[in-house]
C-alpha cells in the first residue's frame, strides 16, 4: 500500500499526465470543447512518427470515436516547419538490421492507425501545415478533411530509399485524377501549397496564419455535423486568396503524365519516356534512374492492384510489402545513402529494372500466414 503522501504524489503526477500539458511529450492529446486534439510534438525531428506516438494516438482515436461528447478529431503538428515529415525511418532501419521486433510492430501498428483514421466515425480534420511526407500523409489523407496551407510540402519519396509509398498510398494514389498518383509515387515529385489541393490530396486551402482562428472556431462548434464542419472549412477556404490565380504546377504536363505513366510495366514506362524525348520526359527518366529498381516495380504493381481494393485490403498488401523490404537489401542501402552517409549514391541490388524478376516481385506480395496484418 502507498503511504498517503506518496499516493497524493501519484495522483498529482497522474493529473499532470492526463492533462498532457507536458511540453516534452512527443504527442499531446487533449479535449477542448467538442474537439479531440492530437498535436504531434517532435518539432526538432519535424514531428516524425515513432512507435510510442502511434501507440498513444490509436487508442485515443478509438476512445473519442465512442465518446458522445466528442464531435470531431483534429490533428496538427508543432514547430511551424512540418505537420509530419514521415515515419521514424532510422529506428526501423536499426531494428530491421538486428531482427528486432520493431521492424514488424512499427508497420503493423502504423497501418492499424491509418485504417482507424480511414474508418473513423467522427469527422477527422488534419491541418497539414508544412512538410507532410510518408507517415505524415498516412495520418492525414485518409481522414474526412485535409487543410493545406501555402507552407504545405507534400511528397511520397519512398522509392528513393528502397521502400514504396505505403501508409495506404496504394489506396489513395491510384484514385487521384488521371495518372497523377502513379507519377507522384514513382518519381517522389513534391507538391507545394495550393497544388496539394489541386492534385486532390487536400480538401481545403487556408492561409497558415489563419489556422489558430480556424482551430478556435472548430472547437467552438456546438455538437456539429460533418456538414457544419465542412461549411466552416469552406468559409475559410473561400477567403484564402494566396496563389488563387496560379495554375496547377502539373497542368501543362498532364497529357504526358496520363499517357506515359499508364504503361503496364516499369520497362514500358521507361521506353515511353525515352521515345517521348521532351525535356519533361528526360527529367523524369533522370529521376527514375536514381530510384531503387525493386521499389519501382513493387510500387507500380501496388498502385495497379490497390486501385480496385478497399483500404483494408491495401493495408494488408502493404504490410506484406513492408516485410519484404525489411528482408531485402535496398531499404538499408537507401537509408544509408540518403539519411545516414548522405552521399546520395545508393548501390541498388539488383541495379537495373530488367534484373528484378517477376518471381521476386510476386514473392513480395505473398501472404504471411499468421504474421499477416489483421484489421
Residues tagged active-site: 87, 135, 158, 166
Which string of b and e fits 232-255 if b means at least 16 CB within 10 Å? bbeebbeebeeeeeeeebbeebee
By the 10 Å C-beta count (0-12 exposed, 13-18 middle, 19+ buried), 374 is classed as: exposed
What radius of gyration do the chain's Cα atoms show?
21
CA atoms within 13 A on the CB side of 322: 30
Q: Where are the alpha helices (DSSP H) in the chain?
A: 4-19, 51-66, 89-98, 102-118, 135-138, 169-172, 180-187, 194-198, 211-220, 226-239, 254-260, 266-276, 279-290, 293-306, 311-327, 330-335, 358-364
Give the SS3 label for residue 323.
helix
Amino acid at each position: 500500500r502507498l503511504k498517503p503522501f506518496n499516493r497524493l504524489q501519484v495522483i498529482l503526477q497522474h493529473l499532470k499526465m492526463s492533462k498532457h500539458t507536458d511540453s516534452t511529450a512527443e504527442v499531446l492529446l487533449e479535449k477542448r470543447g467538442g474537439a479531440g486534439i492530437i498535436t504531434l510534438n517532435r518539432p526538432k525531428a519535424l514531428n516524425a512518427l515513432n512507435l510510442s506516438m502511434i501507440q498513444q494516438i490509436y487508442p485515443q482515436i478509438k476512445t473519442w470515436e465512442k465518446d458522445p461528447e466528442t464531435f470531431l478529431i483534429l490533428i496538427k503538428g508543432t514547430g511551424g516547419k512540418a505537420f509530419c515529415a514521415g515515419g521514424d525511418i532510422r529506428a526501423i532501419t536499426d531494428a530491421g538490421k538486428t531482427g528486432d521486433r520493431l521492424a514488424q510492430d512499427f508497420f503493423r501498428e502504423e497501418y492499424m492507425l491509418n485504417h482507424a483514421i480511414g474508418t473513423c466515425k467522427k469527422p477527422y480534420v488534419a491541418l497539414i501545415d508544412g512538410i507532410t511526407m510518408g507517415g505524415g500523409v498516412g495520418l492525414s489523407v485518409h481522414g474526412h478533411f485535409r487543410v493545406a496551407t501555402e507552407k504545405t510540402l507534400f511528397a511520397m519519396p519512398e522509392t528513393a530509399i528502397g521502400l514504396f509509398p505505403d501508409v495506404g498510398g496504394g489506396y489513395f494514389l491510384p484514385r487521384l485524377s488521371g495518372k497523377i498518383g502513379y507519377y507522384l509515387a514513382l518519381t517522389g515529385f513534391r507538391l507545394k501549397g495550393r497544388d496539394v489541393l489541386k492534385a486532390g490530396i487536400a480538401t481545403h486551402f487556408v492561409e497558415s496564419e489563419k489556422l489558430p482562428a480556424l482551430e478556435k472556431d472548430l472547437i467552438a462548434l456546438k455538437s456539429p455535423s460533418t456538414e457544419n464542419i465542412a461549411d466552416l472549412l469552406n468559409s475559410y477556404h473561400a477567403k484564402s486568396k494566396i496563389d488563387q490565380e496560379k495554375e496547377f504546377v502539373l497542368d501543362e504536363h498532364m497529357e504526358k503524365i496520363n499517357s506515359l505513366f499508364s504503361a503496364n510495366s516499369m520497362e514500358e514506362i521507361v521506353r515511353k519516356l525515352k521515345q517521348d524525348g521532351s525535356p519533361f520526359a528526360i527529367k523524369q527518366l533522370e529521376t527514375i534512374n536514381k530510384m531503387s529498381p525493386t521499389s519501382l516495380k513493387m510500387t507500380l504493381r501496388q498502385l495497379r492492384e490497390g486501385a480496385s481494393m478497399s483500404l483494408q485490403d491495401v493495408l494488408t498488401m502493404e504490410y506484406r510489402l513492408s516485410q519484404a523490404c525489411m528482408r531485402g537489401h535496398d531499404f538499408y542501402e537507401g537509408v544509408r545513402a540518403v539519411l545516414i552517409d548522405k552521399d546520395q549514391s545508393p548501390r541498388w541490388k539488383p541495379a537495373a529494372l530488367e534484373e528484378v524478376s517477376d518471381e521476386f516481385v510476386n514473392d513480395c506480395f505473398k501472404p504471411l500466414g499468421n504474421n499477416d496484418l489483421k484489421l
